[in-house]
Homo-oligomer: A and B are copies of this chain.
């Protein structure tokens, strides 16, 4: 048996994931074959299975990668002075990702796959719980600094911000005229009013 170099192995996995993302964006997850992913990655089909057991395993890796990127984003966001601004900045970033057809297609494919595949569903749910945790934490710190309404139920607020993230991608899927980046000002207005209005509305 060949010895496996862990760094080379990880680099090859990243290369396969990148190739898979391109293929999924073109044809969707279900209509993409592992042979097409191998061709895109420039490797022989028999070789793929040293890195991923199945197409599902590739999508699982994509979901996990996304979780790591979200965690890294909030790790940095926490260092800022204006934490409310970081929440707005996060939603701007979500709007930009939703405006990228490759990313939007992939996000919607992953949601659909989560309805069919329990392992993908578990990973998506784990990322979602982590996202709500990040949001709750940054909102709590923002409330402590007086940047948002301190009387707000923060679990509820984090949940509804997550619902807005879902909603942006759903809009892209259903409304061909929806332009996520063009909607940034309205989204900022909504979040500002929701998180900062003093009274009970």
Contacts and interface: CB of A to CB of B under 8 A. Distances in A.
Contact of A201 (B114, B153, B192): B192
Contact of A128 (B114, B115, B129, B175): B175
Interface in A44-67: none
Given A156-B183, A193-B193, A201-B189, A171 B175 contact: no
Contact of A174 (B125, B188, B194): B125
Contacts of A200: 189, 192
Contacts of A108: 115
Interface residues of A, number: 46
B125 A170 contact: no
A125 B176 contact: yes
A186 B189 CA distance: 18
A112 interface: yes
A166 interface: yes
A141 interface: no
A32 interface: no
Q: Which of A132, A162, A174 has the most CB of B within 10 A?
A: A174
A33 interface: no
Given A125-B175, A156-B183, A160-B187, A111 B170 contact: yes
Contact of A168 (B30, B115, B163, B197): B163
A116 to B, nearest CB: 8
Interface string A140-181: 000000000000010011011011111110110111101000
B160 A186 contact: yes
